[in-house]
Amino acid sequence: MSDSRSTVPSHPFAGAARLVDYWAIVYRRTWKGSAISSFVTPLFYVLAMGVLLGDYVEGDPAQLEGATSYLVFIAPGLLAAQSMQTVFGEVTYPVMGMVKWHKTYFGMTASPLTVSEVILGHLGFVMFRVGLTCGVFTLVMAPFGVFATVWGAVLAYLVQFLLGLAFATPIYALSAGLKDESPFALVFRLGMIPLFLFSGAFFPIDNLDPWMAALARATPLWHGVDLTRMLTLDTLDGSTALVHVAYLVVLAVLGWFWAVRRLTKRMVG
């Protein structure tokens, strides 16, 4: 009798591609639940924080990292934060559900698919969600004149995929190994919310105490915000940009290996 594992694709991307139909069906059935956060929230963010609140903030480029208005300063920060928030929503409770409640991963790995291919397929769907929500956010921002150049807008959008992966793989790994969902409350309250508030999206981190500013610079969101803002304002510094990219790539790669290890252990244990 031939081994069913002989049909396993030689490349993990080929195996993950077999899950496209599954994730397409999932999104067709659930997209309405994310319509507000994906399509309406970006407009409200830009209008409320950038336009309305921005009228009360003096647009001094010397104090706003080169931005000529608070809207121009805050818009790239909100774009990067949108990428982070999308990832948090997609790799916490959904991953827990596929391991503990619905046992979906067990069904997938009972086929010739491997754990790595299952993770890659799920992360591919997460990147689709990041691309969709951040794409809408970018289009919403464009009419307000926040992008200095077209190429800057395109590159700022592409940065969100790298930022999303830098968050997705380690948070996925954390979720895959948890026994229950109770730690997620701390993940959101002590992780996502402080990052959202203190990683440079709303104000320059130089306004913080030195130790807090140093802590902010160690976070992935600050690297994403700063890189997005440089591209948006057309103030790109090559060496600084390389540091940002290297930081995010290393975090994404380390998170990937941790995710494979954690989910494999959870599936076997």
Q: What is the pLDDT of residues 77-126, one digit of tens each?
A: 999 999 999 999 999 999 999 998 988 898 888 888 889 999 999 999 99
Instruction: Tell me the C-alpha distance between 222 and 212, whole Å.
Output: 12
Q: At what angle do helices 238-268 and 150-177 cross, to 10 degrees?
A: 30
What average pLDDT does the structure give for the chain? 87
pLDDT at residue 60, rounded to an integer: 66
CA angle 18, 19, 20 (to 5 degrees): 95
pLDDT at residue 29, rounded to an integer: 85
CA angle 131, 133, 139 (to 5 degrees): 95
pLDDT at residue 8, rounded to an integer: 46
> CB–CB of 269/249 below 8 Å?
no
29 vs 62 pLDDT, higher one: 29
* Those residues with Cβ within 8 angstroms of residue 119's Cβ, 6 or more apart along the chain or in another chain: 172, 256, 259, 260, 263
Instruction: Tell me the C-alpha distance between 137 and 159, whole Å.
Output: 13
Instruction: Tell me the C-alpha distance between 190 and 135, whole Å.
Output: 28
Q: At what angle do helices 70-90 and 150-177 cross, to 10 degrees?
A: 30
Instruction: Tell me the C-alpha distance between 252 and 167, whole Å.
Output: 7
- Cα 207 from chain centroid (whole Å): 25
Q: Domain limits of the chain? A: 9-268
* Those residues with Cβ within 8 angstroms of residue 251's Cβ, 6 or more apart along the chain or in another chain: 166, 169, 170, 220
pLDDT at residue 141 greater than cutoff 90: no
Evaluate if pTM is beyond 0.75: yes
Q: Residue type for 128, please?
A: F
| pLDDT tens per residue across span 127-138 | 999 999 999 889
Q: Measured between alpha carbons, how far is residue 138 from residues 64, 141, 228, 235, 244 in Å?
A: 20, 5, 11, 18, 21
CA dihedral 40, 120, 108, 129 (to 10 degrees): 10
Residue 131 sits at φ, ψ, to 5 deg, of -65, -40
| pLDDT tens per residue across span 17-50 | 888 888 888 888 887 777 776 777 777 777 777 6
Instruction: Tell me the C-alpha distance between 16 and 256, whole Å.
Output: 15
